Structure 1
């Protein structure tokens, strides 16, 4: 191989590596804020996949472009190319590399999900905040247990220790959260984009689900499953606050007398039934608005 070609290949590999690493770092900006310990791990895995995918894509594309531009036949050359027999070494290489990549990705993905405690409770985590060099530790804290009831089309959250119910999920920051998920009717899905967590909720089953919020703020919880006519209205706020503010909120909510909460699905259905013009399309009657201690009086479709 000519020295010029070697220099070109090395320069291209270096440029390709730099671009791939840059794309991996850029991918962190494609998501909502990292509001849970799990989001740090998921974003790290995604950035790794973006880096690897960029390297492979640009590497293959670059070779194809180089071949088309510099290795094409001359004008009016309709002769056949040279007859080349199979190359065992080349075939072994291009078969082994994808297999090793698949095992590498599978092992790394398993490691990430194991760190997320998908297979069991996680008492303490030492994680990198974002993708910088600053580290933080989520100290071991008592697990906060909350019951989650999903139905067409509303979320109800019950805090057993305080006997408080709410249509807005409140969580203490840096505490391990354990949700007991149930459905009163059909399949629902608990999905909090800022936490990078999603869990299907199966009727007649109680599913335990854990995560650790680490950033105070207000985020969005959505139903990730198509659960019927008004499923798009099945959204609510997730409020992550300091442990002190969380306890204050529980104490204030406990003083309130339970009352029917505002429910967007019920409101839309009521408006639909009062119309003079009837579409004739069948629909499911929403469940009665939940009766809770605390309800933020807002439409679930309002922007954050």
Structure 2
């Protein structure tokens, strides 16, 4: 959520036979913009991500255009009046040093605006999580790129129902278990090697969260998840290393059930899932 010009050398006009004096091709007008290079191919993203990247790209273009306007649009200083008066109309083409134009001062690049601080708040006490559930989503590591809003997104009942692909009325089951709300956030790691999605479901009690987690299974080979007691892990290895593999971890902390999904190229390393699950559990336990 993405960065992702070459000015052709000034060429002479069509060639003509010289008469008395050789013809000279006109120089390009100052400030003429170079032709834009073709846009690079981009990875297809969800609409919310595309809008965010498009907005970031627009801001970058605006800032660059402003810098160019300052540097190119500022007129050069005129030659000294005394030197211009003293020189006759047919003066020698050699200009006096005092009559030379002074170069425009260089303009420093614009200072980027600081990243907005999140206003999402939450508190945890005795396994009970109050406030905005998005606050408890595993923080994005340094250099990571969020897909969609940086704070994450709440999930509606309709979006939750779409998660069930076997015809089960998942919302009826959830509400019977004291389900309250859900939130999710997806991001790409700084090295670009993994995409992580964290989803939280909040219930009325810890017992209800644990009951739902135990019945939330995957039809995949299981793997061990270390550093998170009670967690269960699943792995989906690709048939070829050039394809995408994935892992899923499921666990609870207090009244919140959490799921961490990881996608990587090739066979996933279960150590990565264990690290993410432990970090998510610690964040839910302390709230910081």
**Higher relative contact order structure (alpha carbons within 8 Å, sequence separation ≥ 6):** 1
Q: Please report the TM-score for the alignment, with normalisation by the length of structure 2.
A: 0.26
